[in-house]
Amino acid sequence: MSFGTTMYVIMENENNFQLNANQPVSPIRENEETLWDSIKEWIQVIIVALIIALPIRWYVAEPFIVNGASMDPTFATGQFLVVDRLTYRFENPHRGDVIVFEYPNDPSTYYIKRIIGLPGETVNINDGKITIVNKEHPAGLLLDEPYLSDEHLSHDTSSKTLSSTEYFVLGDNRAQSSDSRFWGPLDKHFIIGRPIMRLLPITTLSLWPGQESQ
């Protein structure tokens, strides 16, 4: 097998090997052995490729395609994302991070939302405006959300206090997003990772798309 370099075959006794006339070489047999050798070689290549690629996909990066309008105008249906699965193994998510996660009510379904509330905080929503209550801001911090557009705002009102492992996530299209307002906080163990690259369409190519840490 060759990986871009010349492969040399070393043959023993080429010059003095005597072929027994009573045992002629069979071209069919030779072809069968050559074909089987090629098949075995490709099987080995595939196995090695899987050994390398699968851990990368499971633990480092994984491709996703956006489907739905819940993150408009930040992300649109059909956009191809590469999601970093590694970072959150070493650090906690931040407010403003866009994350991909397993939907708690159906872990076989993946959602993409933005983190609004962090563990231990209280998230207050009043007519669509969000105030965060925590140790640093006991009187409340009114969030500035530059990623929202006027046409995607909502006017709901609610309040939720998060546990030590919970996050409050919302879609950027507040009027059309199924998120923590409806099915509750997101436990950390459901988080897969964060988009590190938007590849397609090529006109939207970008690194760390949608990130707005606060």
207 — alpha (psi -120 to 50), left (phi > 0) or beta?
A: beta
| Catalytic residue of the set 38, 70, 154, 164 | 70
Residue 27 token pair: 């071209």
| Catalytic residue of the set 2, 108, 113, 164 | 113
Cα dihedral sign for 168, 172, 173, 177?
Answer: negative
Question: Is 113 among the catalytic positions?
Answer: yes
Q: Which residue intervals of 102-210 are DSSP H helices?
A: 180-183
Residue 118 token pair: 């962090």
Residue 196 token pair: 């590190």
Question: Is 70 among the catalytic positions?
Answer: yes
Spatial neighbors of 59 by CB under 8 A, at least 6 apart, are: 85, 86, 89
Query: Could you list the active site residues?
Result: 70, 113
